[in-house]
Amino acid sequence: MFDDLRELYQEVILDHSKHPRNFRHPEDANHEAHGYNPLCGDTVNVYLKMGHNGLIEDAAFEGKGCAISLASASMMTEIIKGKTETQAKTIFDGFQKLVKGEDDNFDAGEDTERLMVLAGVKQFPMRVKCATLARHAMSSAMDGAEETSTE
């Protein structure tokens, strides 16, 4: 089988998609947003608990989607928890460039390695939106918008 498929669907991604982390709706979430990809019908609801100074105290999600979108949502919740809004947005921007193949020197500090597992998506342009749906919904949640769509 093809190496790029193996890279796209590596163990970590399959693990996150089959056992998504933070797959829940926290009662005390104070920011949430709904993400929708009209091309495939995938949906994600993200829930954030934002504290003082833009600190993300909790991040969780629920939704339906392909392995890539579920894994990406799951990993993102882990990564942004404990970060500030500004830090999270810097990571999102870098991640966006990474999966679109626009940045070969991706650096997200200690999270670089974890996010690099999604870099395989750049070989599959049709799937970039799957990888970025959750990240867009999370940005919207921080900004107070309630709906995001990939289109």
Closer CB to another protein, 68 or 98, in the complex: 68
x-or-dash string of contact with another protein, 2-21, rule CB under 8 A: x-xxx-xx----x---x---
Tokens representing 34 are 């709904």
Residue 30's alpha-carbon distances to 27, 48, 75, 97, 125, in angstroms, are 9, 6, 21, 29, 34
Closer CB to another protein, 89 or 127, in the complex: 127
Contact between 105 and another protein per CB under 8 A: no
Residue 99's alpha-carbon distances to 40, 43, 57, 68, 129, in angstroms, are 19, 20, 26, 11, 9
Residues 39-98 that bind another protein (CB under 8 A): 39-43, 64-68
- Site residues, another protein (CB under 8 A): 1-2, 4-6, 8-9, 14, 18, 39-43, 64-68, 124, 126-127, 130
